[in-house]
Amino acid sequence: MPTKIRDGAHALIECLQQHNVEFIFGYPGGANMPIFDALLDSPIKLILVRHEQGATHMADGYAKSTGRAGVVLVTSGPGATNTITGIMTAHMDSVPLVVICGQTITPNLGLDAFQEADVSGISYPVVKHSYLVRDVQDIPRIMKEAFYLAETGRPGPVLIDVPKDIAVATFEPDYNVEMQLPGYKIPTHGDSAKIARAADFLNKAKRPLLLIGHGALISDAGKAIRILAEKMNIPVTNTLLGKGAFPENHRLSVGMLGMHGTAYANFAVKDCDLIMSIGSRWDDRIIGKPEVFCENAVKIHVDIDDAEFNKVIRPDCCIQGDARHVVEELNTVISPGDTTEWIKQIDKWKKKYPLAYKKQGGLKSQFVLDELDRLTQGEAILTTDVGQHQMWAAQFCKTLYRSHWLTSGGAGTMGYGFPAAIGAQLAYPDKQVVAIVGDGGFQMTLAELSTAVLNKLPITILIINNRYLGMVRQWQALFFDNRYSGVDLEGNPDFVKLAEAYGAKGFRIKRNADVARVLTKALNYVDGPCVVDAEVEKEDNVFPMVPSGQPYSDMVLEPPKHKLAKPVGST
């Protein structure tokens, strides 16, 4: 585009246009008013949110489902600090965001001016990079660098703090300016010698297991992983964030592993003689007790970020590189071994220890989610909040495609699911989007019902309503002698009436017999968002369960008859 004199705000918006930004999720204030004014001259659509945390989760949902950076625009002070939870959520899960904050004028920096906050300093631990713009001439370069940093290598959030006087200063922008990122290199292909070593390990293994994490989704390694698994007849387990990198209805899939993974996935982890992690960082929900995790197995780690190597465990072979490129090269040098007996054993475990629940009694969360899976057949994009419903959804809702499962993994952020669904629905208006939320988490960001209603987004919001903070209650029941403290959500609103107050459609489920009929109605409702209040049993626990910090051999398959030892770590 031809250059001419611009103020900083208009130059910033033009930079966003050059990066083909479709939506900005934002909230205005005094410090970012010039940027909001410039938005009026832009084709970029503003999604006006009701809270800045909601904006970051919407941008996160958009980014996770598209692979492109989600963009947030907020004002200074509390507007900026309200984004920190969402920025941390994105940082923990390697999600590309560009968060633009208004700031007080440059002469007032450090003087405790009205609505001033050192958001660059506050955000440093939870961003990939943070900028404070001090010269209007730097805007084109900083914007170019921000998107490049956010979207490449191991993705993550980048924050740009723009003082108001910089936003109104005029200059002649150079949109072809060179980036200045000395030392920033993006690993692509792995070391061939190490790949050959990994192939040798795989060729000799009798009981190998592939562990697929979020990095495999980010790199779009699914096709290469499927070729590897089928060529070598290797079972595949996935992390919570790795759902969708390998279809969970495939004969070689054993589903999710870890604290609330399937029993057969966890048995496979315990008995394998080789485990190969592709894009997983060996987090504590997977490892349990590090010193005995797969202690007799060869461990291979493929990751784009070498900071993850030897951080939690010490693998026998570490390969730094893009997961897709590494696996594609690996596929050219492997020789299939004989895993027939191993697969037979996996199949025996699947038959003996299936995911199950008692259908007698009141309405079960598992039954509701099982029916949702049956009705959607893996075609819907599912987002979740954090807690029991998240684990049950991960167990019973099979993910078949990339970017059809959006959840908060590392941070475990309550309130994530519904705003993330808004971002995903905007990204894919023709796809079915279902937000699976708990009654606790939903109330943290439910004000975004206004955002969904105003934008006529046909999102189905399924509330697994047990009137408890269910996962905390479960731990208090199992490890604290049923001493419930701070988990009873007495005072919940009538969610159907609440939905109607916002102009959304409300449905209620109370009985097993209502589930299929009501869910079908809700899924077919396309005139805007709808809320389904599923009033499930109050006290039900998620099993299987590996207590935090304990080995896989301590996996609990059903409600224990005795008190369990207090676990290591938090919920």
User: What positions carry a catalytic annotation?
Assistant: 52, 114-115, 164, 471
Work out the angle at residue 61's Cα, subtended by the Cα atoms of residues 80 and 125, and round it to the nearest 5 degrees: 45
Quote the DSSP letter at residue 563: P
What does R_g of the chain's alpha carbons equal in angstroms? 24
Residue in 491, 448, 381, 485 with CA at minimum distance from that of residue 66: 381
Is the distance from CB of 97 to CB of 72 less than 8 angstroms?
yes
* DSSP tag of 488: B
| Phi, psi at 73, each rounded to 5° | -130, 115
Look up residue 540 and give its amino acid: D
Helix (H), strand (E) counts: the chain: 23, 20
- Asked if residue 135 lies in contact with residue 129, where contact means CB atoms within 8 angstroms, the answer is no
Task: Decide if 59 contacts 126 (C-beta within 8 A).
Answer: no
Q: Provide φ and ψ at 427, rounded to 5°.
A: -70, -35
Contact 73, 25 (CB under 8 A): yes
CA-closest candidate to residue 246, choices 216, 207, 280: 216
Of 414, 440, 421, nearest to 538 by C-alpha is 440
> Using CA atoms, how far apart are residues 10 and 14, in angstroms rounded to an integer?
6
Give the whole-angstrom CA distance, residue 285 versus residue 283: 6
Strands (E) in 288-406, as ranges, are: 298-303, 317-320, 381-384, 405-406
Give the HSE-up count for residue 506: Cα atoms under 13 Å, Cβ half-sphere. 14
Give the length of the chain.
571
Element housing 237 (H / E): strand 236-238
**Residue 317 — φ and ψ, nearest 5°?**
-150, 120
